[in-house]
Amino acid sequence: MPGVGIPVAPPPPAAAGRRVRRGLAGGIVATLVATLLAALPAGAAQAAQTLLSQGRPVTASSQENYGTPADAAVDGDSGTRWSSSAADDQWLRVDLGAPAEVGQVVLQWETAYAKAYRIEFSTDGETWTTAYSTANGAGGTETVPVSGTARYVRMHGVTRATGYGYSLWEFQVFGDNGDGGGPTLPGGGDLGPNVHVFDPSTPGIQGKLDEVFKQQESAQFGSGRHAFLLKPGTYNGLNAQIGFYTQIAGLGLRPDDTTINGDVTVDAGWFNGNATQNFWRAAENLAVNPVNGTDRWAVSQAASFRRMHVKGGLNLAPNGYGWASGGYIADSKIDGTVGPYSQQQWYTRDSSVGGWTNGVWNMTFSGVEGAPATSFPQPPYTTLDTTPVSREKPFLYLDGNEYKVFAPAKRVNARGTTWANGTPQGESIPLSRFYVVKPGATAATINAALDQGLHLLFTPGVYHVDRTIDVDRANTIVLGLGLATIIPDNGVTAMRVADVDGVRLAGFLIDAGPVNSPTLLEVGPQGAASDHAANPTTVQDVYIRIGGAGAGKAGTSMVVNSDDTIVDHTWVWRADHGEGVGWETNRADYGVRVNGDDVLATGLFVEHFNKYDVEWYGERGRTIFYQNEKAYDAPNQAAVQNGGTKGYAAYRVDDSVNTHEAWGLGSYCNYDVDPTIRQDHGFKAPVKPGVKFHSLLTVSLGGNGHYEHVINDTGASTVPAGTSTVPSTVVSFP
C-alpha cells in the first residue's frame, strides 16, 4: 500500500484426506536381553554423553487427559508429566531426529510407574528391537544402561505397578548423535544491544526513545531494529513515538502492570500526513493514560496493537486526517471511543471498546465487547459475536528478576480480552529454555539449537540464512523482538514447520532474497494430514516481503499444509515501491496457498502478487477480515490474462472445496501503469451450499483499472464509479 487512498505455478492437488492417528501396528521383535547390564553411575554417564531427547518430537499410545500430554515427558520440566490411560501395554516414543549411538535411558517415574517394561530401539519407527527389559521395575528414578543405534527410542509398558496408567515426569535418552561432541548451545542470556530495557527509575528514557525514533521515523527499508521493554511500574510524562521496525512492550504479566502516563504515538509527519506507509511496528502489553485523553495510532499494514489498555480514546488517523490503510487490534481494552476517521479498513479481535465512531470501507470485528452491530455496507461494519478459535501471541515478561515467555492458552468462541478478569491462562517458559538468537547467528547454529530442544528468541536484527530453519518439534516457540528479519540468501525456503502440534511463530519478518525461493514459509509438509485441533500451530505478526529493501523473488510466499493452523495477523506483500521493484524484478506469482483443512485466518493482508494473492484448497477454511490490492505494476491486460478470465482473483477458493466461509473481504485495484486493465472479479469461489461469503467489496483507486464484478459474476462493476473510489459491495454470497 503506497500513498494512495481517499481523503477523510500451477495449482497443487487438493489436500489429502485427514488421517487418524493410530498406534503402531504389528508385533514387537522380541530379542530379549536376558541379563541386565551393569548399571553405571548416573552422573558419570551423563557427563560423558549428550542428552538427545529433550524437546524432540514424541508420541504415545494414549494420554490420560489434556493436561498430561506426551511432550511433557521430554520438556526438561520435572513438574510436568505424561500419563497414559489406565491399561497395560502402553508406550511412549521419542524421535531423536537422526540415528544416534544410545548409551543410557533415564526414567523419572511418577507414583504410577511400570513394574514390567521394555526399552526398545528402531531406526525407522516400524521395526523394533529390545535393548532392555525388566519385570522388577522399582519406580522413582531409574537409570538404565543400553547400547545400540537408534533414531526412535520407546518405553513400552507391559505391567502397571498401580491401578493407574503409566506416568513419567521425564524420559531422557543419552548418547552420541555423531556431531563430534561439539559444545552444547546455552539457553537464555542477555538480549543484545538493540533491546532497551527500562524501569521507572532509569534516567534519560525520553531521550533514548527520541534518539531511536529519529533513526527509524522514515527508515522504511533500513536495517535498524529496536525493542523497548518496560519493566512493571508507572512511567510519567513519556511520549513514545514508534517508527519503523520498532516494538514497545511492557514486561508485566498483564498490561496494567506497566502504565505510561503519556502516549504511545504513531503519526505521519515524515510522509506529509499520509499514513499509508506506516508499516512494521508494534505496541504490546502496556496500559496508556493519554495526556489529552486520546492516544494516536495512525498505521497501515504490519503494525500490531496487542494486549493494550488505553485509558481513554484511540485515534487511528494521522494528524490532519490524511489517508490511512490499517490495521489490527487484539486482546486490548480501549476505555473510550475508537475513531478510525480516514482509516480505509480495520480488524479488531477479542477486545473491548467503549465505542466506535465511523468507518470508510471495511471495519470487521470478532469477539469484541462494545463493537457496533453488523450493518455492512453502510456503515461498513461486519461483526461476529465471538472468534471461533484463538490463542494469543506469546510474549516476554519478568517473573521477579527472571525473564520468561508466556504462552497463552487456546480459547474457543472467544470474546473480550484474556487478562481483564485476572491472571491469564497459559504456560510460562523460562528464558533458559530459549536460544537467544543475535545478529551473526547462522542457520546451522539456529538449527542446532532447535535440535537440542530449545525454543528460539530472535533479538532485533537482520539474519541471513543459507539453509532452511527447520522447526520439527511440537510446541516450539519462535518469537521475534523488534521485527527481527530473516533473509534467505540462496533461494532456500526461509523456514519450515513439521506436521506437529502447537508450534507458535510470532513477531518476525521474512524478506525474500535475490535468488528465487520456491517458498518462503511452509507450515507442514505437502500431504500433511494429522489432526491438530486440540493444539494448533499459530502464525502471528509474521510478515513476508518480496522486494522493497532490494530485489527479491519467490514462487509462493506462504504455504499452509498443516490442518487446524491459525494465521492471526499477517501481511504478505510483494512490494510496489522501494528498491528492486518491477513486474519481473520482484516476481512473485502467489501470495498465500492453503492446502490444510480447518485452517482459520484472522486478519489476513495479502497484496500485489503477479497472479493469485490467496488460493484455498483445504476444506472448512475460514477467514475473518481480508485486505488486498492487486499488483499496481501490471504492464498491460495480457500480463494478467488468466486464460479466458480477465485478471487473477485476489482470493480464490478451489472448485474442489465443499465448505468455506469468510467475512469482511476487500480487494482494491490501482493499475497505474495501464489504467485500462480490467478484472473480471475480485473473488472466485465454487457455488455450493457450504461455501459462504459475507461483506465483500471491490474498489478502483482513482479509476486506475476496474472490476467487472465483486465475486464470480455477482456484484456491480466499479466502472460507473469512475475515479470516485466508491466501492461495489456484496452483502452475502451466494
Cβ 613 vs Cβ 592: under 8 Å: yes
Give the length of the chain. Answer: 734
3-state secondary structure 86-116: CCCCEEEEEEEEEEEEEEEEEEEECCCCEEE
Say if residue 596 is exposed, middle or buried (CB neighbours under 10 Å; 0-12, 13-18, 19+): buried
Q: Which residue has the cell 542446532?
A: 448
Helix (H) or strand (E) holding 46: helix 42-48
Q: Which three cell numbers stand for residue 624?
A: 475473518
Report the distance separating Cα 650 and Cα 605, nearest Å: 11
From the centroid of its chain, how far is CA 18?
23
Residue 337, C-beta contacts closer than 8 angstroms, at least 6 positions apart: 313, 314, 353, 354, 355, 356, 357
Peptide bond into 377 cis (omega under 30): yes
Indicate the SS3 state at residue 447.
Answer: helix
Of 499, 493, 640, nearest in space to 556 by CA: 493
Mode of pairing for the β-strands spanning 129-134 and 114-122 = antiparallel
Cα of first residue to Cα of last residue in the chain, in angstroms, is: 30
Residues with a known catalytic role: 629
Of 712, 598, 567, nearest in space to 650 by CA: 712
Indicate the SS3 state at residue 319.
Answer: coil
From the centroid of its chain, how far is CA 232?
26
Q: Buried (b) or exposed (e) across 40-69, using 16+ Cβ within 10 A?
A: eeeeebbeebbbbbbbbbbbbbbbbeeebb
Report the distance separating Cα 28 and Cα 604, nearest Å: 48
Instruction: Kindly provide the residue ranges of all beta strands, DSSP E only, lying in 431-494, ordered along the sequence.
Output: 434-437, 455-458, 462-465, 469-471, 477-488
The shares of helix, strand and coil residues in the chain, as percent rounded to the nearest 5, are 5, 45, 50
DSSP-assigned beta bridge partners for residue 462: 485
Report the distance separating Cα 374 and Cα 382, nearest Å: 5
Cβ 681 vs Cβ 711: under 8 Å: yes
Q: Which residue has the cell 487473477?
A: 648
Q: Which residue has the cell 525461493?
A: 517
Report the distance separating Cα 247 and Cα 238, nearest Å: 15
Q: Which three cell numbers stand for residue 338?
A: 475508537
Residue 237, C-beta contacts closer than 8 angstroms, at least 6 positions apart: 206, 261, 262
Indicate the SS3 state at residue 17.
Answer: coil
